[in-house]
Amino acid sequence: MTALHNPERAWARPAELTSYDLAQVERRIGAVPGRIELLSGGLANLNIHIAGRGVLRIYRSELGTAGIEARLLSLPWQQLRVPRVLQEGPDFLLLEHVPHSPLQDSDEHGWATGAALAEIHARHFEHAGLLSPELLVERAFGPELALLEHAAQQLQRAGLSQLLPELQRCLAPARTALDELEHPFVLLHSDFKVSNLHWTLDDRLLVLDWETAYAGPALLDIGQLLRWSPPERFVSGFERGYRQHGGMLPRDWRRHAGAFDALNLAFLLGGSERGSLRARQVEERLRRALAAAGE
């Protein structure tokens, strides 16, 4: 077994990861005499490990995000592990630090990932949209997945508007595939990728970073998981675990998941610095996804 391939680990810009304001930390949770380590940081949030206390997440984007994530982390999950919420504020959470190791490319880890995602997707919604702190759709998206409009804006921002017609073409059959499902809109983790999936010391799947969760098609999460082509043993294990725990997949689900991930990749491009490693790798993967979906 080896750790799942994850090019995204190399995307963080060093300038984002070198400093934090200790006063901002202590203003939220009090004095921190122990060792402090900045785990990650960027436009969305900071993650700071405080020895003996836990992991402090400071949210830099929309107010209310902390409350939604706290509610998701407090759900009685059975097939996955999440950090316990130790302290909560309007723009921060102090979370339990859970020791973990990388997710492996094995059938066992694939099965556990499928079982966990099926449990997440078991929460159904009538419409796609953004969630309230009560985990209801607070702001529904327009008809027929107006996420495409957002993708168009992000492609324009990245200087790749010419890819939009191809994205629309590849999504058409994938969107039709949703008609096969009794519940086309589910709770999406929406950042269900290797960077946020880990293996605990007691052999459970640990799922981190729920701040962008919303209601949408399950294939968006699945496409993210399969983005960097995990080996067949992992994918077949994922499919078994997902189906055995009630997850529903349309025919030709792998191709359709790739098409939906093209949407995710368009969103990523809009927030990428032009010419950066992230922008180059995302554009390359997007073009490959579009080509594969069009075959």
pLDDT at 17 over 50: no
pLDDT tens for 142-199 read 655 567 888 999 999 999 999 999 999 999 998 889 889 999 999 999 999 999 999 9
| pLDDT tens string 212-233 | 999 999 999 999 999 999 999 9
Averaged pLDDT for residues 238-257: 96
Q: 7-98, which class in CATH?
A: alpha beta
What is 102-293's CATH number? 3.90.1200.10
- pLDDT tens profile 25-79: 999 999 988 788 888 765 578 899 999 999 999 998 777 899 999 999 999 999 9
Judged against a pLDDT cut of 90, whether residue 210 lies above it is answered with: yes
Cα distance between residue 144 and residue 263, in whole Å: 14
pLDDT recorded at residue 146: 67
Q: What pLDDT score does 144 carry?
A: 53
Q: Is the pLDDT of residue 14 over 80?
A: no
Of 290, 121, 286, 257, which Cα lies nearest the Cα of 189?
Answer: 121
Q: Which tokens sit at 105?
A: 């490319």
Split at pLDDT 50, 70, 90, the class of 16 is: very low
N- to C-terminal Cα separation, the chain: 32
Sign of the CA dihedral with 281 first, then 286, 289, and 294 last = negative
CA distance 49 to 97: 8
Mean pLDDT of 16-23: 67
pLDDT at residue number 110? 98
DSSP annotation of 16: G
129-145 pLDDT, tens digit per residue, is 999 999 999 989 865 55
Output the pTM of the full model: 0.93
Contacts (Cβ under 8 Å, ≥6 apart) of 150: 267
Determine the Cα–Cα distance for residues 268 and 198; give it in Å rounded to an integer. 22
Q: What's the mean pLDDT in 252-270?
A: 93
Q: List strand residue ranges (DSSP E) for the chain, in order.
A: 36-41, 45-50, 54-59, 85-89, 92-95, 100-102, 124-125, 129-131, 137-140, 185-188, 197-200, 205-207, 214-216
Output DSSP code: residue 61: S
* Domain parsing of the chain, residue ranges: 7-98, 102-293
Q: What is the pLDDT of residue 143?
A: 56
Report the pLDDT averaged over residues 7-28.
Answer: 73
pLDDT of residue 145: 54
Mean pLDDT of 87-110: 96
pLDDT tier at 15, thresholds 50, 70, 90: very low
92: confidence class by pLDDT, cuts 50, 70, 90: very high
Tell me the β-bridge partners of 199: 101, 205
